[in-house]
């Protein structure tokens, strides 16, 4: 790139990492460069912009780097995010997380550093911003759009629960990994004739459990959208085990799933900057309860369980084919919108076609599974209905 560029586009990734982020960064960078734009990579998500040092040139910034085809062309071979990430909300920064040089100015227990973000973006010469993330990351992008920053969002989350799009970067790889690892674990469940409980991601939406179950990864699944009866689940799994000639059964448990009469299970009580406590442990509880209750349905003999938490395994490693192709298209579409003078839009997939929607959609409703249409709440498994005209993943249409 020469200094005679048309303008400056900045890209950041926020929230949890997923495979597919690097292909989106690469596609947007290469396309923008070819159109005559300089591209800046903002490191560590919103936290990085908060920590820009306005006394230093771009080349000496710790949280900013100039992107070019040369330094992004190989990043598609790996998962995660080349730009690193954080779970930071600049409009609600705890006192201890305020950059040291700003603590005299911002000393409340909770601080809105949006003015500093705007000044830092102006200092870097950013004219267009592409935040890549889930509804938390993108909701702050909406805030910046309302403040006058020209933003184009790209949806990313393995839970696939960003409103306004049928698909989010990371979801396909998560489903692929879940199916693959579940089938691998069958050898252990079958060898010991046990009931296998597998906890998967999914805080508020159960797509990461229900779609693999639809593909045959498990006999049953429980999801956040419907509180389940552990007695009924145990009964079903014991029957599944009996009906299986290998004498085992499998249930997928979303991390946000809840017993009837209870709330979510948390690994700890410390919330992140968006107010989310770390989930984890529902699989342990389900496994224990099944072991305790199984003898009732097995002639008085308890059935041992295998308890496995997928956790970060489903968001690690290189992206699958869909999470290599869709991010490429999303990255290019984001540049198309910038070239067309658009702002306040989020790229998306709707009914199998690439499109874009207003940023405001991400805060207007929650995207969850339609229980009445796609989930058998008595048998704890997907409905297998007519797929004619449905999206690629059947139940992920928005």
pLDDT in tens, 41-62: 999 999 999 999 999 999 999 9
Q: Are residues 255 and 323 in the same domain?
A: no
Residue 164 lies in a domain: yes
Q: Are residues 78 and 135 in the same domain?
A: yes
User: 1 falls in which pLDDT band (50, 70, 90)?
Assistant: very low
- State yes or no: pLDDT of 317 exceeds 50: yes
Q: Are residues 33 and 153 in the same domain?
A: yes
Q: Are residues 161 and 210 in the same domain?
A: no
Query: What value does the mean pLDDT of the chain take?
Result: 93
Residue 393 lies in a domain: no
CATH number at 209 reads 3.40.50.460
Q: Of 17, 135, 159, 240, which one is the catalytic site residue?
A: 159
Q: Are residues 338 and 306 in the same domain?
A: no
Quick one: pLDDT at residue 272?
Answer: 59
Helices in the chain by DSSP H: which ranges?
21-34, 45-50, 69-72, 114-124, 135-146, 171-192, 207-214, 230-243, 282-293, 322-339, 371-374
Residue 389 lies in a domain: no
Q: Are residues 231 and 215 in the same domain?
A: yes
Q: Are residues 61 and 128 in the same domain?
A: yes
For residues 310 and 199, give the distance between their C-alpha atoms in angstroms, rounded to a whole number.
Answer: 6
Residue 251 lies in a domain: yes
Query: Which has more pLDDT, 257 or 271?
Result: 257
For residues 88 and 168, give the distance between their C-alpha atoms in angstroms, rounded to a whole number.
Answer: 20
For residues 368 and 398, give the distance between their C-alpha atoms in angstroms, rounded to a whole number.
Answer: 9
Closest CA to 393 of 205, 167, 237, 54: 167
Q: Are residues 70 and 181 in the same domain?
A: no
Residue 2 lies in a domain: no
Quick one: pLDDT at residue 2?
Answer: 46
Q: Are residues 131 and 226 in the same domain?
A: no
**In percent, how much of the chain has pLDDT > 70?**
95
Contact 221, 209 (CB under 8 A): yes
Residue 398 lies in a domain: no
Closest CA to 374 of 167, 198, 232, 205: 205
Q: Are residues 28 and 146 in the same domain?
A: yes
Contact 230, 222 (CB under 8 A): no
pLDDT in tens, 158-169: 999 999 999 999
Residue 130 is inside which H or E element, if any?
Answer: strand 128-133
For residues 142 and 151, give the distance between their C-alpha atoms in angstroms, rounded to a whole number.
Answer: 8
Active site residue 159: yes
Give how many domains the chain has, as a whole number. 2
Q: Are residues 254 and 335 in the same domain?
A: no
CATH number at 65 reads 3.40.50.450
Residue 388 lies in a domain: no
Residue 1 lies in a domain: no
Q: Are residues 19 and 39 in the same domain?
A: yes
pLDDT in tens, 131-142: 999 999 999 999
pLDDT in tens, 72-119: 999 999 999 999 999 999 999 999 999 999 999 999 999 999 999 999
Global confidence as pTM: 0.93
Task: List the domain range (segments joined by +) for residue 186.
Answer: 175-311+371-382
For residues 50 and 144, give the distance between their C-alpha atoms in angstroms, rounded to a whole number.
Answer: 13
């Amino acid at each position: 790139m020469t200094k005679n560029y048309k303008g400056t586009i900045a890209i950041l990734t926020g929230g949890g990492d997923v495979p597919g982020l690097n292909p989106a960064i690469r596609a947007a960078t290469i396309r923008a460069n070819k159109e005559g734009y300089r591209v800046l990579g903002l490191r560590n998500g919103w936290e990085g912009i908060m920590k820009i040092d306005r006394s230093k040139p771009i080349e000496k910034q710790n949280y900013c780097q100039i992107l070019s085809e040369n330094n992004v062309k190989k990043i598609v071979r790996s998962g995660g995010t080349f730009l690193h990430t954080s779970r930071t909300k600049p409009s609600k920064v705890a006192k201890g997380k305020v950059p040291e040089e700003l603590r005299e100015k911002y000393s409340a227990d909770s601080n809105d550093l949006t003015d500093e973000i705007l000044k830092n973006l102006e200092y870097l010469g950013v004219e267009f911003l592409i935040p890549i993330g889930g509804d938390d990351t993108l909701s702050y992008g909406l805030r910046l759009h309302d403040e006058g920053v020209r933003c184009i969002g790209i949806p990313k989350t393995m839970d696939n629960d960003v409103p306004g799009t049928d698909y989010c970067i990371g979801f396909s790889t998560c489903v692929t990994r879940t199916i693959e690892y579940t089938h691998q674990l069958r050898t252990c469940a079958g060898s010991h004739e046990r009931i296998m409980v597998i906890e998967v991601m999914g805080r508020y939406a159960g797509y990461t459990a229900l779609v693999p179950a639809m593909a045959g990864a498990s006999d049953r699944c429980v999801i956040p959208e419907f509180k389940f009866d552990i007695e009924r689940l145990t009964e079903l799994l014991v029957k599944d085990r009996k009906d299986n000639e290998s004498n085992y059964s499998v249930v997928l448990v979303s991390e946000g799933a809840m017993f009837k009469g209870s709330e979510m299970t948390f690994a700890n009580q410390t919330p992140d900057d968006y107010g989310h406590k770390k989930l984890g442990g529902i699989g342990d509880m389900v496994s224990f309860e099944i072991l305790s209750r199984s003898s009732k349905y097995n002639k008085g003999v308890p059935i041992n369980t295998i308890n496995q938490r997928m956790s970060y395994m489903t968001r690690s490693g290189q992206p699958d084919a869909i999470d290599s192709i869709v991010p490429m298209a999303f990255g290019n579409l984001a540049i198309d919108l910038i070239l067309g003078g658009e702002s306040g839009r989020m790229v998306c997939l709707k009914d199998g076609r690439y499109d874009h929607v207003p940023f405001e959609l991400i805060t207007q409703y929650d995207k969850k599974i339609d229980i009445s249409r796609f989930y058998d709440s008595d048998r704890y498994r997907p409905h297998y209905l007519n797929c004619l005209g449905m999206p690629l993943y059947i139940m992920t249409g928005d």
